Structure 1
Amino acid sequence: MIPQEPAGVVVGVDLGGTKTAAALVGPGGDAGPVRAVPTPALDGPDAVLDAVAALVTDVVRAAGAPLRAVGVGAAGVIDAGRGTVVSATRTFAGWPGTDVAGGLRRRLAPLAGAGGPVVTVENDVDAHAAGEVWRGAAAGAGSALLVAVGTGVGGSVVLDGRPLRGAHHVAGEMGHMPVPGAEGLRCACGRTGHLEAIGAGPAIHRRYRGLGGDAASPDARDVVARAVAGDDLAVRVVRAAGEAVGRAVAGVMTVLDPEVVVVGGGVAAAGDLWWSALVGALRAEVVDVLGDVPVLPAALGADAAVVGAARGAWRASAAVPPLVPSVPTAPGAAP
C-alpha cells in the first residue's frame, strides 16, 4: 500500500490517445500498481472523461480511502491554470475546448469529501518531465530539458521544479522546430521541414518506405530492426532521425542552458545506432561550455507521466516540499 495522508489518496493519470493509465501516488512519489484502459478518443470528450473517471474510481475504491486529488497529464496543448484543452490533433475527436478539470471534478465528487477533489491538468510531456525530475533520471536537478520521441516529438523544460508553460501553453514543444534534413518533409501539423517530420516514429517508417525500402515493412520498430540487421537504407534513415533530434536538442540547450537533458519515448528505445547519432550530432553542435551536460535516458518508463501528474495534484492540494531545495542567497547578494 502506498502511504497517504489521512485526508485521502492522490491519483496520477496519464491520458493518451491510445490508453489511459492511473495509479495511487504517495507524497514521496512512490506509485502503486498502474491500471490501464483503452482511451475512447474518437468517441468524444464525454466518453473520454467517463472512462478516466471510471478508472480513477476503480483505483480509489481499491485503496479504501477518500479521494483527495487527481493529477492528469493529457495529450494536447493544455491551459494548466484552467485545466482545459487549448488545441489537439485529430486523434481526439472534439477535444479542443474541453474542460477536463471541471468534468472530472463533477464525475469524481462522490469519492471525495466536502468541496470535491482537487483536479489538476497539464500536458502529458510536462507531466512526464515532472516525474523524471521528481523521482527519475533528473532527480535533484535545478533545471532539465525532457525530450519525448515516439509517435510525435514532444519537449518540456523544468525550472526550479516546475514545468515552464509559456504564454501560449507550448513552452518546450520541440516537434515543430525547423531542422536541417527535414526540408520538404511534411509534418503532422501540415507544414514542412519540422523535426517531427523526420525524427518521430511514423516519420522514420514513412521515409524508409518513401526512399524505396521494403513496402512490407509495417512500422518504425521494423525499420529499426532492419537497421540493426544491417539494412543500409534503414541504417541511413534511423541515423538521420537521431541526428535531427540531436541538432534540435542542441539548439534548445544553447538557449536554455539546462543542467541535464533526459530523452524518453518509444523511439528512444531504438538502441545504440539512434542514440549515438543523437548524441554525436548534439555534441558537434553545442558550444564547448555545454559539452559535458549529461544526456540521459528516461528512468521511469511508462510510469513517468502518472508520477509527474500526481506531483501537480499534491502541490495543489497540500503544502509539500519543492522538487528542488532553494539555494540560500549569499550574504550581500540581491535576493
Structure 2
Amino acid sequence: MTLVAGIDIGGTKTAAGIVDPHGTLRRRHTVPTPASDGPAAVVAAAVRAVRDLGVPVAAVGVGSAGVVDPESGRIVSATDALPGWAGTALRRDLERALGVPVAVDNDVHAHALGEAWRGAAAGRRHVLLAAVGTGIGGSLLVDGRVHHGARSAAGHAGHVPVPSAAGAPCTCGGTSHAEAVGSGPALLAAYARSAPVPASSLAEVSARADGGEETARRVLARGARALGEALGGIVNMTDPELVLVGGGVAHCGPAWWEPLRQAFEAELLPPLKGVELRPGSLGGDAALLGAARLALEVLR
C-alpha cells in the first residue's frame, strides 16, 4: 500500500503523520518549530519530524503557515510568527532532503482539504472554512479544489471589515476587521481590559461565560458576531454548500457559538438562508490529512 506523509508547519510546533490512501492517519509525531532560529532550522525540523516516523513514504504534502505559491512551493509572505519565512523555497528544500516528491500549500487550505476528505465536509464540493486561533484564516473549496486567487493570497477571512469590529485596530495595520476583535489574542486582550479577575486562557474565559459571567459573555459575543458577519458576507459572494469553523477559538461553548450563528444567519441573502454553519470534526489532524491528500495527488 502506498503511504505518504503530511506535515503541518506552525509557528510553535511542526507535526508530521503517515497517511494511507484511504485517509487513515497511521502514525503521528510532533516537534517544536525552531522559528527564532530561521528558515533553515524550520525546514530541518520538518525533515526530522518525517524521518522520526520511521516509515518510508512515496511523497510528502505540507500545510505551512504563510501565503504559499502552490505551483512553486515557495512561501510568498508570512507573519512574524516565522521570522524570515517569506521567500523560502520549501518544496525544493524538502525534496532535496527527503528524496521524494513534495506538494506545498497554506495550512488553512490543507485544513479545509482534510475536512473535505475525511471530516465534517466529506462529500461536499463547495466549502468555506474559517480557522479561528491566533488569527482568522479561511479557505474556499470550489468543486473540491482550493481557490488560491491571482496571487495565492485568497482566504484572509479575518480581514473583512464588519460592524461589530468598528474602529478596532487590526494587526495588519487596518481597522474594523473581524480578526481585530474575533481572534484568540483579541478576545483575551478584551477580557483583560474589563474583567474583575484575570483569566489565564481563553478556555477559562469560555467557562466563565458559560457560568453566567456577564463580562466574559459580552467579550465572546462581540468577537463571535464579528466572525459571523464576515462569514455571512463571504457566503453571499461565494455560495458554498457548507461553512465550517475550526481552530482553538471554536472550542468555546454556547456563549460564543450562539451569537456566531445569529450574526451569520442575519447576514445571509434569502436564497442562502439554508447554508449550514458548524464545527469541523478533525481537530488538529485536519491539516495533516489535507497535506497528505496533496501528496497523494502528486503521485497521480
TM-score normalised to structure 2 length: 0.97
Q: Choose from 3, 7, 30 the match for 1:36.
A: 30
Are residue 51 (structure 1) and residue 45 (structure 2) matched?
A: yes
> Does structure 2 conserve the Cα–Cα contact (< 8 Å) formed by 1:186 and 1:192?
yes
For residues 215 and 185 of structure 1, the distance between their equivalents in structure 2, rounded to whole angstroms, comes to 23
The residue that corresponds to 1:23 in the other structure is 17
In 1, Cα distance between equivalents of 2:196 and 2:108: 33
- Unaligned runs of 5+ residues in structure 2 are none
The two structures, once aligned, show a CA RMSD in angstroms of 1.2
1:72 aligned residue: 62
Match 1:253 to one of 225, 235, 241: 235
Question: Residue 149 of structure 2: SS of its match in structure 1?
Answer: coil
One-letter amino acid of the counterpart of residue 39, structure 1: T
Shift of 1:231: 1.6
Q: 1:123 aligns with which of 66, 82, 106?
A: 106
Which of residues 217, 224, 238 in structure 1 aligns to 2:199?
A: 217
Q: Give the residue type in structure 1 aligned to 2:199.
A: S
Q: How many residues align?
A: 300
- Say whether 1:279 aligns with 2:261: yes
Offset at 1:41?
1.0
Q: Is the 8 Å Cα contact of residues 202 and 219 (structure 1) preserved in structure 2?
A: no
Write the distance in 2 (CA, Å) between the matches of 1:31 and 1:119.
18
1:215 deviates by 6.0
Q: With structure 1 as the length reference, what TM-score do the two structures score?
A: 0.87
Contact 2:75–2:86 under 8 Å retained in 1: yes
Deviations 1:257-297 (A, max 9, x none): 00111111111110111111111111111122211112121
1:112 corresponds in structure 2 to none
What is the SS of the residue equivalent to 2:220? helix
**Does the CA-based 8 Å contact 2:63-2:107 persist in structure 1?**
yes
Deviation by residue 1:72-97 (Cα, 9 ceiling, x = unmatched):
00001111111011111111111010
The structure with the larger Rg is 1
Secondary structure of 1:168's counterpart equals coil
1:137 aligns with 120
Q: Does 1:233 align with 2:215?
A: yes
The DSSP-based 3-state class of the residue aligned with 1:263 is strand
Equivalent-residue separation in structure 2 for 1:245 and 1:308 (angstroms): 24
1:221 Cα offset (Å): 2.4
- Mapped to 2, the partners of 1:40 and 1:208 lie a distance apart of 30
- CA separation in 2, counterparts of 1:309 and 1:152? 20
User: Structure 1 residues 186, 218: closer, same or farther in 2, change over 3 A?
Assistant: farther
Deviation, structure 1 residue 172 = 2.3
Distance in 2, matches of 1:45 and 1:315, equals 26
Which residue does the alignment assign to 2:94? 104
Match of 2:150 among 159, 167, 172: 167
Unaligned 5+ runs, structure 1: 110-116, 319-335
- Any idea what SS the aligned residue of 1:32 has? strand
| SS in structure 1 at match of 2:199 | coil
Match of 1:158 among 141, 148, 151: 141
Secondary structure at 2:111's aligned position in 1? helix
Name the structure where helix makes up a greater proportion of residues. 2
- Whole-angstrom distance in 2 between the partners of 1:194 and 1:218: 25
Pair 227,22 (structure 1): closer, same or farther in 2 beyond 3 Å: same
CA contact (8 A) 2:232 2:268 kept: yes
Q: Partner letter of residue 229 of structure 1?
A: G
Whole-Å separation in 2 of the counterparts to 1:225 and 1:43: 37
